[in-house]
Amino acid sequence: MKAIVLLLAWVSVTYALDNGLGLTPPMGWNSWERFRCNTDCVNDPENCIGEKLYMQMADRMAEDGYKDAGYQYINVDDCWMAKERGPDGRLQADPVRFPSGMKALGDYIHSKGLKFGIYEDFGTETCGGFPGSKFFMESDAQTFADWGVDLLKLDGCYSNIQDMTSGYPIMEFFLNKTGRPILYSCSWPAYFVANSKIPDYKAIAKSCNIWRNFDDIQDSWESVVSIVGYYGKNKGNFSDVAGPGSFNDPDMLIIGNFGLSREQQRSQMAMWAIMAAPLIMSTDLRKIDPYSKALLQHKEVIAINQDRLGKPGALLVDMNMIQFWIRPVTPEGSVAFAVLYTGSAGTPEKLSVQCQSLGMVGPGAYNVTEVFDGHFIGMFKPTSNINITVNPSGVFFAKAVYLGDQK
Ligand SMILES: *[C@@H]1O[C@H](CO)[C@@H](O)[C@H](O)[C@H]1NC(C)=O
Ligand SMILES: *[C@@H]1O[C@H](CO)[C@@H](O)[C@H](O)[C@H]1NC(C)=O
Ligand SMILES: *[C@@H]1O[C@H](CO)[C@@H](O)[C@H](O)[C@H]1NC(C)=O
Ligand SMILES: *[C@@H]1O[C@H](CO)[C@@H](O)[C@H](O)[C@H]1NC(C)=O
């Protein structure tokens, strides 16, 4: 195996939105990937987009350990609205599926010690065809504040991207004007990328706490690999603007659903930790199996994701479907690293890698611990080699704590 030695200069300029929110990547749950726009509460009352679903997920978050692990937000996604605005021009929830109304749902979520997220769209309609915020931004921001909303995800269907550069900051202005701290999640760059344009990430980080850069995640390994590949390329240098208050969002965790093997679920969890990604689950917390639940609540993985430096990892090299990623973490000089085998056929790969190729550039030694099982691997110098086994579609995920120059 070739030795790879890359010294990275970590950029420390901050462009963060100054609302005190999202100082580490936000953690929560969102209905979209798992429950989509299922509005059929007659035939599918357990799984339709309605207040019952969100109340039940809030119960599971609060009672089943997720809240204690750090998950906070219960995010309503598209298809919650009535097809028309009210006579006063205000947004209103579908009266059949949300009979108690959104303020009551927010109160319920808050009563569990959790936070309330909602979805709107920058254009004339949401992606699902419900009323969009165009021409109504100020009153929609106020409506959300009145309902006790803590997070707004603003999508970008039915609009044109030329308007986004001024329009997304205007919504931020109106959110700020309400006086209620509302974490702002923008789909702005994803629409630029979908139109083959490079977004202005400095401007985005000034107005948004988190932002989607790329395609929606789907319930498959191919989708996870495609997203990780996009983040590895870092086109437009979006990693440089990430930090406390501002994070790139590679979309939801699909752990606990149908499309990923156990190995692949670990890979998603490790990579989202390396990328300093928001940890927004989209799975049925009422039916999740113990393996996926434990993974979503894994203390050490979450600690790396939430590392207070807030610096996302970088892809150093991709060799024959084996990717080397490193992320700087605390204590000072330490790194988390992931060796990801994106191929899903074959046998486990055995590698011997020089430590400095994994971000351990010294001058002193490191204590290296495998993250998932907590196994202490040993004390290593930058020039020593570490033995790694990585399974197909699996990951080797470790933390190297810098011990300083001990001579
Ligand atoms: C509004 O913006 C100001 C200036 O950036 C900031 O200090 C304040 O915390 C913001 N308030 C809210 C509610 O976001
Ligand atoms: C990204 O960074 C590289 C290396 O510093 C630089 O050459 C490139 O112009 C930057 N691209 C953008 C879009 O800022
Ligand atoms: C590093 O590992 C060595 C050997 O197990 C141990 O003696 C030492 O306490 C560890 N140092 C830290 C800072 O964890
Ligand atoms: C790595 O594997 C080689 C070959 O099996 C072995 O000689 C060496 O001791 C191993 N190194 C460590 C640090 O375990």
Domains, the chain, ranges and CATH?
2-11+313-404 (2.60.40.1180), 27-305 (3.20.20.70)
Q: Whose CA is nearest to atom 9 of ligand 1?
A: 19
Kindly give the distance from the C-alpha atom of residue 382 to the centroid of ligand 4, in angstroms, as a whole number: 16
Question: Residue 117: beta bridge partners?
Answer: 75, 151
Q: How far apart are CA 161 and CA 146, in angstroms?
A: 29
Annotated catalytic residue, options 78, 155, 240, 251: 155
Query: In this structure, what token pair is assigned to residue 355?
Result: 């430590």
pLDDT bracket for residue 11 (50, 70, 90): very low
Asked if residue 8 has pLDDT above 70, the reply is no
Across 209-228, average pLDDT = 98
pLDDT bracket for residue 14 (50, 70, 90): low
Q: pLDDT tens across 329-362, in order?
A: 999 999 999 999 999 888 999 999 999 999 999 8
Mutate to test the pocket of ligand 4, among 387, 388, 389, 396 (most ligand atoms within 8 A of CB): 387
For tokens 């440089």, what's the residue? 240
Q: How far apart are CA 5 and CA 134, in angstroms?
A: 50
Length of the chain: 407
pLDDT of amino acid 406: 66
Element (H, E) at 318: strand 314-319
For tokens 């113990």, what's the residue? 290
Q: pLDDT tens across 132-157, in order?
A: 999 999 999 999 999 999 999 999 99
Q: How far apart are CA 212 and CA 205, in angstroms?
A: 11
DSSP-derived pairing of the beta strands 385-390 and 322-329: unpaired
Asked if residue 273 has pLDDT above 60, the reply is yes
> Cis peptide leading into 45, omega within 30 of 0?
no
Kindly give the distance from the C-alpha atom of residue 182 to the centroid of ligand 1, in angstroms, as a whole number: 10
Kindly give the distance from the C-alpha atom of residue 54 to the centroid of ligand 1, in angstroms, as a whole number: 29
Short-list 186, 132, 120, 139, CA closest to 159: 132
The answer to whether 155 is a known catalytic residue is yes
Whole-prediction pTM:
0.96
For tokens 């209103």, what's the residue? 92
Residues 347-372: b if buried by 16+ CB within 10 A, e if exposed: eebebebbbbbbbbbbeebbebbebb
Across 14-26, average pLDDT = 91
Q: Whose CA is nearest to atom 13 of ligand 4?
A: 386
pLDDT of amino acid 362: 87
Radius of gyration of the chain (CA): 21
